[in-house]
Structure 1
């Protein structure tokens, strides 16, 4: 079911560059895909001298870099922000700033809780948390903010509960986590609001870890508090870094993915009908490929490397654009088309190699459950696009606000697919 008909359906871009690629630019963030298309064709190894990084955008190059931690290391972190880049990155992003074998050692402490089997066991609880957010919105009327009041809330609730964060604090945690990515246009520096939110969260998590060390329970934070790595327990700062990582991933990536799927369902009525008609997995998967919330990550080159006749010197920052790779016409036919019938198995939305997204299975289940529960009550919907607001983040793409009006099912019984 192909529902888009852009001017360049084959994914090739006109020779004229749309804009310079700067991930901190609001103009790029509003619609990065034209510049991605240009980069894939005319600058597969793009150089931004002002920001001092190289960027790869073709599918083969993105996959190769992600799968080669020996030549493209995580040791300086995965973000271009000066405060998050460098040898100290481990303090901020925990095992994401490690390479094998250290990365696997740390990741294994919680990996089993994110396997498809364990995630499957959480499905009914995810459904309960979804209804707890959705039912009050529907009871209040037919119009609500799908992004702010629902899509962002459910994944945050799930990960907060998994970490042992008291329910009374979930919304506060979400509000401050949203502020962590706030940047002014073209700025890579943290705003005062961001710094204040980071301090509040760090203080909260320090107290949470101290309390859970005294009163362990059945949650991920307790597992980390009790874990031993080569005979040494994790420090409080390491556990706090892990909590930041998991909450941010659940809050930012999954919540924005749900909103992106909802937006494209509004933009493309055939997708909306098919999605609400029961094709939840197809709707989710094509959203992941076509408009992933996670746009890019970063690596450091460990040796001089030549890609497409361009020298990437050792020690260079390398931006890896998996969202661009997902629209490479060398891999996907008509990649600029949102095609709910597409085979998306080759998409790189959750990365590749040893740093393949830990929460990928959880994210997909959350998205499918959310859409399934909405479809039980909603026949169709409209978005007030004039008042929709995007977030501005170098890494994350999605909506801060999606004002929505829904049309309920007229029949008293729910759809037959339930």
Structure 2
């Protein structure tokens, strides 16, 4: 049976890894309807880092052709640019996501997490009350967006995700919804940029204005950082709680020893927040012995590559002290996730405080949106007993 990102059952959508395992056992590369799906770790690495593959299709972008705010915006997203513009823009934005900048933010990240966790009821939706607002508040801090706007930003970000291929296939109005959100977000950040042009600050929007970016580039970069800067962390935090809820020994180890960098890497490898990323072949290329013709669309299945037994020992086991290299959840090559250092800090700090506040807990219900790209619960209701209050500073 040919592989597809559409038509999945709810059970397989929640846990796609047995499906990946079956395809990977047959071959690291599969082709269906002209799309090449990459399952193996080495094959995925070669595509993500290879000069023969890039982000631009022959039609110019990742969304359907035709004029729209969404299309213009996405075509200016850093993740969909190739050199030399990618190199130029990334060099500007990278200053605000360096390890030294993230280190100085750790105290503020802790305060934001603790504030959200301070007054949680016994039963609550983890996504709504913590996993989603936490990274939005952090990225808003960098962008200079007032906290009062975080709920609105989250709603627009969710609507924007309707344009992803999996969701759009089931919703005939998906692109209309996403385009409206893109328009509102563009207008919001253009107003901010105008104010920073008159009165610069120390935030990221001021940096983009001072760097001489066009209006389209400023708006697109702000929206990209806002969406990418929270969606992945939201999914990791929620899925980490789901993963740990069925593994009491691992949960106890994190509570006793803290959430280490190694534990963060393993949780992200085990159930990554983004399951697949697209590339286009710019020339004929051989991957794992399969010739991919120039112009072909390629889908790199990060979730499958992260569980490739040729790369990871016992890949279906959660080993919080796993060593021997990272998975591909944050990508590889020139498009390696710009915010990876920030995301790791948010997960380490946020999950540590969250587990302390949760105490003994049960998962009451979980709902996943139909999305095989951005993969994580839209709702995760938990009940807690014997919880502790979050602290406003790290030990």
TM-score by length of 2: 0.89
Per the TM alignment, residue 130 of structure 1 is displaced from its structure 2 partner at its CA by 0.8
Is 1:382 paired with 2:362?
yes
Deviations 1:212-255 (A, max 9, x none): 2222211011000000xxxxx21111011101110111221111
Deviations 1:180-223 (A, max 9, x none): 12325556973543333222222222222222222221101100
Structure 2 counterpart of 1:312: 292
Deviations 1:302-333 (A, max 9, x none): 11123344331101111112221110000111
3-state SS of paired residue (1:396): coil
Match of 2:55 among 57, 74, 93: 74
Match of 2:350 among 367, 370, 380: 370
Over aligned residue pairs, what C-alpha RMSD do you find?
Answer: 2.6
Match of 1:208 among 192, 203, 220: 192
Match of 2:77 among 80, 91, 94: 94
Structure 2 counterpart of 1:9: none
Match of 2:127 among 123, 144, 147: 147
Is 1:61 paired with 2:38?
no
Distance 2:103 2:296 in 1: 41
3-state SS of paired residue (2:113): helix
Is 1:253 paired with 2:232?
yes
Match of 1:220 among 189, 204, 209: 204
Distance 2:182 2:7 in 1: 22
Per the TM alignment, residue 367 of structure 1 is displaced from its structure 2 partner at its CA by 0.8
Structure 1 counterpart of 2:106: 123
Is 1:199 paired with 2:183?
yes
What are the ranges of 5 or more consecutive residues in structure 2 without an aligned counterpart? Answer: none
Pick closer, same or farther for the CA change 1:29–1:251 going to 2, 3 Å. Answer: same
Deviations 1:322-356 (A, max 9, x none): 22111000011111112223226231111111111
Distance 2:93 2:62 in 1: 27
- Aligned positions of 1:313-332 closer than 5 A: 313-332=293-312
- Aligned positions of 1:247-286 closer than 5 A: 247-281=226-260, 282-286=262-266
TM-score by length of 1: 0.84
8 Å CA contact 2:279, 2:299 repeated in 1: yes
Deviations 1:145-180 (A, max 9, x none): 111211111001110121111221111101110121
Per the TM alignment, residue 35 of structure 1 is displaced from its structure 2 partner at its CA by 2.4
Pick closer, same or farther for the CA change 1:367–1:166 going to 2, 3 Å. Answer: same
Distance 1:94 1:71 in 2: 20
What are the ranges of 5 or more consecutive residues in structure 1 without an aligned counterpart? Answer: 1-16, 228-232
